[in-house]
Chains A and B, each alone.
Chain A
């Protein structure tokens, strides 16, 4: 069964460093998303991506963040100059798209720890 895969499963980085979280969406999906879940808190939407551009973003997704689909298979989230409060579980999701409803499939997440 096709699935969304995320690497690494756990990333530890020093405050101020840049990190890139990687996701491989399901191959025929067209919409891609990043969410984050700070420990003990709700899952929050960060950004959605379609047709090689951001289609929607939340107020959390400021200039510190960027997304890219560099090679047609990977979907990456870059966090520049990480802060302690960026520590969270980051989930990637993808959806096939279309005019009707289609389900978003989530990866297992990358746990980012900023020290």
Chain B
């Protein structure tokens, strides 16, 4: 069984400030890790993913995340946010085993960028 915990339901931040959205997971099997973004009235868009290799992964729109196996975390960061980054962000995991790639999502973090 897998579970994903996003500790912050809402994160207000001023424009051009740095931001970190936290994600912790638990799983009895090895997993892939993802961050998805959902803009208002839109579907889910993949922001970045960790499959293997370097623990620091870079995604679209200047976001990056770091996989920490010992802490079972995959926190999302951006050094300087824009108003357009206002959205809901979801951390997710999926089983590495072929054929079982359904995603388990966290409850989401609403990033509110203020001018």
Cβ–Cβ contact B102 & A42, under 8 A: no
Interface residue count on the A side (C-beta < 8 Å) = 25
**Which of B43, B98, B104 meets A107, CB within 8 Å?**
B43
B67 on interface, CB distance cutoff 8 Å? no
Measured between alpha carbons, how far is A56 from B95 in the docked complex, in Å? Answer: 12
Partner of B103, one of A35, A50, A99: A35
Partner of B99, one of A44, A50, A107: A50
Size category of the B interface is 20 to 34
Do residues B43 and A106 form an inter-chain contact, with CB atoms below 8 A?
Answer: yes
Q: Are B99 and A42 in contact, CB atoms less than 8 angstroms apart? A: no
Q: How far is the CA of A45 from the CA of B106 in the complex (A)?
A: 12
Who on chain B is nearest to A55 by CB? B99
Q: List the A residue with the shortest CB-CB distance to B96.
A: A101
CA distance A55 to B44 in the complex (A): 22
Residues in A with CB closer than 8 Å to B102 are: 33, 45, 48, 56, 58
User: Once the chains bind, are A91 and B43 in contact (CB under 8 Å)?
Assistant: yes
Instruction: Scan residues 37-85 of chain A and give those whose CB is less than 8 A from a CB of chain B.
Output: 41-45, 48, 50, 55-56, 58
Whole-angstrom distance between the Cβ of B5 and the nearest chain A Cβ:
10
A104 at the interface (CB under 8 A from B): yes
Residues of chain B lying within 8 A (CB to CB) of residue A101 = 32, 49, 51
Q: How far is the CA of A42 from the CA of B109 in the complex (A)?
A: 10
Task: Kindly state whether residue A108 has any CB partner on chain B within 8 Å.
Answer: yes
Residues in A whose Cβ lies below 8 Å from that of B32: 101
Shortest A58–chain B CB gap in Å is: 8
Q: Beyond A42-B106, A101-B51, is A48–B43 a contact (Cβ under 8 Å)?
A: no
B100 is an interface residue with CB less than 8 A from chain A? yes
Q: List the B side residues contacting A44 at CB < 8 Å.
A: 105
Residues of B within 8 A of A (CB): 32, 36, 41-46, 49, 51, 90, 92, 98-108
